[in-house]
Amino acid sequence: MTISTESMDGGITRVLLDGRLDIQGAAAVDLRMNVLAGSSKFLLIDLSNVSFLGSMGLRSIVIPAQAVNRRGGKVALFNPAPMVEEVLKASNIDQIIPIFHDLGSAVAALC
Amino acid sequence: MLMDNPQDRLELDSQLAELSRVQPWIEAVANRHGVAEDIRFAMQLCMEEVLANVVLHGYRSEAGHPIVVKIFVSAGTLFFTIDDQAPPFSPIEHGSRDDGKKPASLASIQPGGNGLRLLRHFGGSLSYERLADGNRLTIGFAAPMKSASI
């Protein structure tokens, strides 16, 4: 599991996750995700290259999202694969962190 | 019917690091049976949730206890049995169920606790049996397979 970031217009930090967000993957990105959550007001978590998502991986998304939310920021999820999106929906995460498949709509929702 | 093929059995010690052995094992099982991608995903997900639950809660993160996973095929369904020697616990009877209500807010939700919910959602069939010295959970995936033979 790898993690990288891009700065976008509007003060958005795009977090690109790549790999399996399973127990090992979650452990690999948790620290960086929490650091980003402490320094970014608008977080776009790009799931395009996440091939697997389990409940421990969900924690790696929800905990930073809550931290951003507490500081008055916003978080959105971008372009999950169908099965990854089904995990998000089965967990009701989609009802509290919006999911977008169109980058422009995601950016508009954050700004 | 349980098969005797060694490839159809995986023995794990009760520590999270052992779970890294599960994903390639399931991939090999899925390859042998020609399992479709979405069912592979469901298998991987259910096994991770169940095994993590056994290690973290059943054995309370104490290494040195056995977990035995076996597969068998019956009526076109691929079954996984997970045996452990932890205190009695039925994942079918416990844990959060989806009540259909929208979560109140991001701040109000618990970050964890989705494992059993995901197991129920992605596991095709679930059955629990209390063994003399532990627990057996059986998960079935009614998957369209290229071949059901082993």
Closest CA to A6 of A41, A46, A37: A46
- Alpha carbons within 13 angstroms on the beta-carbon side of residue A63 total 18
Which residue type does B94 have?
Answer: H
The answer to whether B60 and B137 have CB atoms below 8 angstroms apart is no
A19 to chain B: which residues are within 8 Å by CB?
Answer: none
Q: Three-class SS of residue B53? A: helix
User: Does A50 score more than 70 pLDDT?
Assistant: yes
Residues 6 or more apart whose CB falls under 8 angstroms from that of A5 comprise A13, A14, A15, A16, A36
Contact B45 A65 (CB under 8 A): no
Contact B49 A55 (CB under 8 A): yes
The answer to whether A22 and A87 have CB atoms below 8 angstroms apart is no
Q: Three-class SS of residue A81? A: coil
Instruction: Please report, to the nearest 10 degrees, the dihedral formed by the alpha carbons of residues B99, A68, B118, B148 taken in order.
Output: 150
| Chain Cα centroid distance, residue B50 | 4
Contact B38 A56 (CB under 8 A): no
User: Does A55 score more than 70 pLDDT?
Assistant: yes
- How much is the pTM? 0.91
Q: Three-class SS of residue A41? A: coil
Contact B111 A59 (CB under 8 A): yes
Per-residue pLDDT of chain B (150 residues; tens, 9 = 90+): 555 688 899 999 999 999 999 999 999 999 999 999 999 999 999 999 999 999 999 999 999 999 999 999 999 899 999 999 999 999 888 755 555 667 778 888 887 778 999 999 999 899 999 999 999 999 999 866 654 444
Closest CA to A15 of A59, A64, A81: A64
Q: How many CB atoms lie within 10 A of CB A37?
A: 22
A56 to chain B: which residues are within 8 Å by CB?
Answer: 48, 52, 112
